[in-house]
Amino acid sequence: MLLAANAMLDRGRDQLLQINGKSHSGVLRRSLSAAEITKGALTITNTGSEATETVVSVSGSALTPEPAAANGFSISRSYYTLDGKPADIGNASGAASTVKQSDRYVVVLKITTDEAGGRVLLVDRLPAGFEIENPRLVAGGDLKALSWLKSGVYPAHSEFRDDRFVAAFDFFQAGDKHREATVAYVVRAVTPGKFVHPAALVEDMYRPHRFARTAASHLTVAAAK
């Protein structure tokens, strides 16, 4: 990697550019803040005789929630009460919802792929007002009302973090017959306020163009009276 980076630097030393009308020679690296971008356009012109490569990376949070999308996978996220009744909370439609502080719910994630095989990563980021509770409630079968929660493919790895639930699947070991998986975990509404409800995402770890996500939305946790 160091040799490749050095070769790229050598190749760029002779390039000639104009940055907003000012001459520049060699490799250009520029980091712009949001405030700098709003002040005006950054115009870069190649004035040399050789073609040059341009890479632009953007990081930040979207001002509007992303819609649901799918390519090679499908994903659904559903919520249930602890007695197994459906709860209308931030589903794939992206609609905003309200819950009460201290309420507990079971989050059910189902993924399906149109191709056999693959190493698959599932990530469900939590709204800031939610926390994951004891994962053994679902894994150990303690929630009798949700005994129908069964999956043909079990996670090769799972994590219950402060801000997200993560599960990895090896569909190569599952074989051609099993192209779907279902997982669940329990959350509690802890902090009152209005929060972004991020999308749940599934992707093939080695073919990232194959992915699916639910719609993002907003969630309000009302303070307990």
The answer on 84 and 42 residing in a single domain is no
**Residue 200 pLDDT:** 95
Co-location of 7 and 114 in the same domain = no
Whether residue 146 sits in one domain with residue 86: yes
* Total domain count, the chain: 2
Verify that 86 and 193 share a domain, yes or no: yes
pLDDT digits (tens, 9 = 90+) for 71-91: 999 999 999 998 888 998 866
Q: What is the DSSP string of the chain?
A: -HHHHHHHHHHHTT-EEEETTEEEES-------HHHHHH----EEE-SSS---------S--SSPPPPEEEBEEEEEEEE-TTS-EE-SS-TT---EEEETT-EEEEEEEEEESSS--EEEEEEEPPTTEEE--THHHHTT--GGGTT---SS--SEEEE-SSEEEEEEEHHHH-TT--EEEEEEEEEE-S-EEEEEPPEEEEETTEEEEEEEPPPEEEEEEPP-
In a domain, 54, yes or no: no
Which residue segment(s) compose the domain that 100 sits in? 69-222
Q: What is the pLDDT of residues 137-195, one digit of tens each?
A: 665 556 666 777 776 688 889 899 999 999 999 988 766 666 888 888 999 999 999 99
Report if residue 109 sits inside a domain.
yes
One domain, residues 111 and 198: yes
The mean predicted confidence, pLDDT, of the chain is 85
